[in-house]
Amino acid sequence: MMQEITKDVSREPKRMPLIFWVGSIFTVVFLYFFGLSIPLLGPDEPRYSQVAREMWLRGDWVTPTLGGAHWFEKPALLYWLEMLSFSIFGVSEFSARFGSAVFGLGVIACLVLLGNRYESTQNRPQIDRSAEIGRFGSWLGLIAATSLGVIVFSRGASFDIIVTFPLTASLIGFFVYDQCSSGSIRIRYAGLTAFYLFIGVALIAKGLIGIVFPFAIVGGYFVLRRRLPGSEFLISLVWGTALAAAVASVWYWPMYRAHGWEFIDEFFVQHHFQRFTSNKYLHPQPFIFFFWVLPLMVLPWMPAFLAAMWTYVRNAFRADGSEDSPTRKTSFLSDPLLSFALVWLLVPLAFFSFSGSKLPGYILPSVPPAIVITATFLYQRLNLHKWKRAVVAAAVGTVLISFGLLLFVVPRFAELDSTRSLFQAASERGYAATRVVNLHTISHNAEFYASGRLLRDDAGKLKRLYGVTEVKEAIERSGERTTLVLVPLEYLPELLRYTDLNSEKLRDNGEIAIVVSSLK
C-alpha cells in the first residue's frame, strides 16, 4: 500500500505556481470593476439607480420613490449600496453598479471558502485530489469567476446578484457548520450564525425568497442524506430565526410603520404572490425556460456541467464498489457537498419554473451550486495534464473575450440601447433643464438621464402621449414654450410635419429620437 501511494505521488504533476493564483486574483478583481461606466441598460438599471438617487438626495434610507411616487417593488439593499457609492464616487453609472460588482466578488470568495473548508475537514477518498491537493477552493473560485452568469450579473445595477450573495453566504455557513461536527465549536457556531445572519440580509435583498430558499434547501439536504437534524440545529431555529428577523427588521419595521397596508399590499401581495401566480408583469416563458437558461449561465463550463450532472446521477445508480476509480464512485448520494449542491440547485430551479413571471436573472441563485458541481467534476481530473490545460485555457480565454467585449462591443451596444447620448446631445444645445415628454413610447431608460423632468400622470407613472396635439397641449399646460420629445423613429415625420410646433431632431440612437419642440 505504501508503495502504491509513493508511486502515485511520484507521478503527481506540479501544482500551478503561486504567481498564477496571485495574478488570477488581480485579473478577476480588475475585470469585475472594468467598464462599469457604460450607459445604464434596459428599463430596470435606470429605474433602480434613480430610486437610489432620490433616496440619497433626501437622505432617506427607508422609503423608495421613483419620480417622487412610492416605489415598493423591491427591498432596499441594492438602493443602500448605490447610495453609499453615490456618497463616495458621486452619482454615475459606475457608482450604480459598484455594489453589484462587490457582491459578485463576494459570491466567488464564498465559494473559495467553501472549497478550502470542505477539503481541509474531509477525508475524501471518493475525490482524486492528487494533482492539486489543497487547491480545491482556488479552482472552484477560478471557475466561478469565469462563469457567464456571475460575470454578467455582477455588472448590472439589479437585484439578482444582490440576493445571490447573501443566499450563497448563508448556505455555505450552514454547510460549514454541518461538516464540522467534530471540529472547533467556534467554527461551528460561526457557520450557524452566518446561516441566519445572511438570511436576514437576503430578506432585505429581495424579499421572502431570502428565507424560503435556505430553509427549503437545508430541509431537502437532510432528506437526501437520510438524516434528521440534530438537537443543536433544531434549537438554533429559535434564536437563529429571531436573529434573521432582527436583521431584516432594520428595513421592514420602519417601512411598515411609515406606510402600513400600502407597503404590505404592493410589496408582498402584488410583487410577491401575484408576480409568482400570474403574468401580471408581462414576463411569460415556458415551464422549461430555466432548464436551458441555467446551463448557459455556466458558460464556458457548460459541457463540463452537463457531463457532471450525467456522471453523478449515473454513479448514484451503480452498485457500491462496482468500480475502483474514485471518479466512478462519486455521486450525488455519496458526497455530502454534491448532495448539498444538488438540492441547492433544484430548489430555485423548481420554484421559478412554476412562476408565472420569468426573467433570466431569476435563476442566478442556482448558479453557485452548478459551479460547485462543475468544479468537483473537473477537479477530479486535474491529475491529467490535458484536463488542467483545458481548464486554464478556458478560464484565460473567457477573461480575454470578456475584456474584448467590454472594450469594443458592449459600449457600442449600450449607446444604442440607452438614452444617455440623446440627453447629452440635448444638454450640449442648452436643454439640460428642459422638460421631457414621451410620444408613442415610454422610455424607462430616461428615468435616470432625465431625472425630475419627465411628464408623469397623477399616480406618478410616466405618461405616454398618443399624438402630436397632445405634445402641444402638454407644452401649453407646463407654462413653458419648449419641451424635449422622445419619439420612435417611425413617428418622427409626424412630429416634424406638425405645423403648430417648431420641431428639430437633435439625435437618435437607432430606435428613438430626441426632438426639441416649441410653440409657434
**Domain assignments of the chain as residue spans, ordered by start:** 14-257+284-412, 420-519
Distance spanning both ends of the chain, measured CA to CA: 97
Beta bridge partners of 288: none
- What pLDDT score was predicted for residue 329? 77
User: What is residue 285's predicted lDDT score, i.e. its pLDDT?
Assistant: 80
pLDDT at 327: 62
Residues 181-237 have pLDDT tens digits of 666 788 889 999 999 999 999 999 999 999 999 999 999 999 999 999 999 999 999
Nearest CA among 422, 418, 421, 416 for reference residue 516: 422
Question: Are 23 and 79 a contacting pair, CB within 8 Å?
Answer: no
pLDDT score for 286: 85
Report pLDDT for 5. Answer: 31
Q: What is the pLDDT of residue 459?
A: 85
Residue 130: what pLDDT? 42
Q: Residue 25: CB partners within 8 Å, gap ≥ 6?
A: none
Q: What is the DSSP string of 346-397?
A: HHHHHHHHT-S---GGGGGGGHHHHHHHHHHHHHTTTTSHHHHHHHHHHHHH
Backbone angles phi, psi at 506, to 5 degrees: -95, -40
Q: Tell me what pLDDT residue 126 has.
A: 43
Residue-level pLDDT at 121: 57
Where the chain has pLDDT below 70, the residues are: 1-14, 120-134, 181-183, 273-283, 319-328
For 124, the grid coordinates are 475524501
pLDDT for the residue numbered 358 = 83
Q: Helix (H, G, I), strand (E, B), or coil: what is residue 433?
A: coil
**pTM of the entire predicted model:** 0.91
